[in-house]
């Protein structure tokens, strides 16, 4: 099998720089383009990036790239790739996805069928199997994906399985919860550090708080889940276990944190508590049923992160207007606290009562949203007391 791989981390639009920094922090050189980050690595790299990347969606192996203006070019291009380095005899290899953009080949089901046919023909030749007898596919699964952009085909194998946002700790959820990797990315885009208080006043199932605790304690986000590559015969199980053991040693479970999640719905607080327990964070986060309007504190230099109801999450426009206005009035009193609020409501600043210091466009699934960023006055406690800021 191969020693070095061309790899891609797929990522939601607007978060490419976050994932690029994560990959560089692992000591891996990379370059960023729309929706993906390119890098190279070995088996260890595949394991570590799946285990450690908090904001990415998937890690994919690039098997090859070539021009594909006709179905014959597609067939020949796929056929001449080195499938013997990826697919052992008996592998299950569905063509799980085909995407064609601005290309002469635009019939995606046909692209999938031609790709499958080419891989089968190549494996029959490699493993000396007769063409008139179907290949047995009863082994581990290798999901193959085809992307054709401007007549350039890219053939990939997904190493991840279920998307990386599925950490494995969410036992229940509320209506339209934020994805775990989006929450982690927003935390990394904020000015929050583990020595600061953090509050999510509309915590729902607790994703922001749980991701913050995992980030602060250096808990690998993929520690409690499995990956597709773990079933592959050419990925040594002892190497996977070694890297998991190293991740366990890097976690700092004794770190004291000041993280709180509030919600007006007591049922959601119970759900958040269960999710935190499943993540191994029992007793780490302060959960409380409370209206956000009732939030008061004498702490300074804290951070509020909120994914309040918006768009499809709450259809009552009047209720949204009232909520955003009350948020603005409540948080305006917290002079030293920074606020990071995610919503699709383009009139949010008017309803909130303040223009954001900074605004960042993101996508929550297919829904365009904005991260409104308000930065608090950074002061020392003595100065804060003198100025009446606490």
**pLDDT tens digits, 169-202:** 998 877 667 999 999 999 999 999 999 999 999 9
**b/e per residue 171-204 (b: at least 16 CB within 10 A):** eebbebbbbbbbbbbbbbbbebebebbbbbbbbb
Q: Model confidence over 127-141: pLDDT tens digits?
A: 999 999 999 999 999
DSSP state of 92: B
Q: What pLDDT does residue 381 have?
A: 56
Q: Give residue 176's pLDDT.
A: 67
pLDDT of residue 141: 98
Say what the pTM is. Answer: 0.93
Which residues does residue 5 pair with via DSSP β-bridges, in sequence order?
41
Spatial separation of the C-alpha atoms in residues 290 and 292, rounded to whole Å: 6
pLDDT tens, 17-34?
999 999 999 999 999 999
- What integer pLDDT is reported at residue 174 of this predicted model? 72
Q: Which residues contact 323 (CB under 8 A, 6 or more apart)?
A: 308, 309
Instruction: Give residue for tokens 């203006």.
Output: 69
């Amino acid at each position: 099998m191969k020693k070095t791989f061309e790899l891609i981390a797929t990522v939601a639009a607007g978060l490419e720089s976050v994932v690029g920094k994560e990959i560089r922090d692992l000591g891996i050189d990379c370059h960023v383009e729309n929706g993906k980050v390119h890098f190279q690595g070995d088996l260890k790299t595949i394991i570590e990036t799946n285990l450690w990347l908090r904001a990415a969606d998937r890690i994919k192996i690039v098997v090859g790239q070539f021009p594909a203006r006709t179905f014959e070019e597609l067939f020949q291009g796929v056929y001449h790739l080195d499938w013997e380095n990826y697919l052992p005899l008996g592998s299950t290899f569905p063509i799980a996805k085909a995407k064609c953009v601005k290309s002469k080949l635009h019939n995606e089901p046909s692209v999938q069928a031609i790709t499958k046919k080419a891989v089968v023909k190549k494996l029959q030749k490699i493993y000396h199997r007769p063409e008139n007898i179907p290949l047995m596919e009863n082994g581990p699964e290798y999901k193959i994906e085809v992307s054709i952009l401007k007549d350039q085909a890219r053939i990939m194998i997904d190493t991840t399985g279920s998307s990386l946002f599925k950490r494995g700790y969410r036992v229940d959820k509320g209506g339209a919860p934020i994805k775990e990797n989006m929450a982690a990315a927003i935390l990394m885009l904020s000015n929050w550090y583990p020595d600061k208080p953090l509050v999510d006043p509309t915590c729902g199932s607790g994703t922001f708080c749980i991701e913050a605790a995992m980030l602060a304690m250096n808990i690998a986000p993929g520690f409690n889940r499995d990956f597709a590559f773990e079933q592959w015969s050419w990925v040594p199980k002892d190497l996977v276990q070694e890297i998991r053991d190293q991740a366990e040693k890097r976690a700092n479970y004794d770190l004291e944190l000041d993280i709180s999640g509030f919600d007006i719905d007591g049922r959601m607080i119970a759900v958040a508590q269960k999710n935190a327990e499943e993540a191994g964070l029992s007793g780490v986060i302060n959960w409380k049923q409370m209206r956000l309007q009732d939030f008061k504190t004498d702490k300074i230099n804290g951070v509020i992160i909120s994914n309040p109801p918006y768009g499809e999450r709450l259809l009552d426009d009047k209720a949204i207007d009232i909520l955003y206005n009350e948020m603005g009035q409540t948080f305006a009193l917290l002079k030293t606290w920074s606020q990071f609020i995610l919503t699709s409501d383009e009139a949010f600043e008017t309803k909130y009562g303040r223009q954001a210091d900074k605004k960042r466009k993101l996508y929550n699934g297919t829904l365009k949203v904005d991260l409104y960023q308000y930065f608090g006055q950074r002061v020392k406690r003595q100065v804060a007391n003198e100025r009446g800021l606490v």
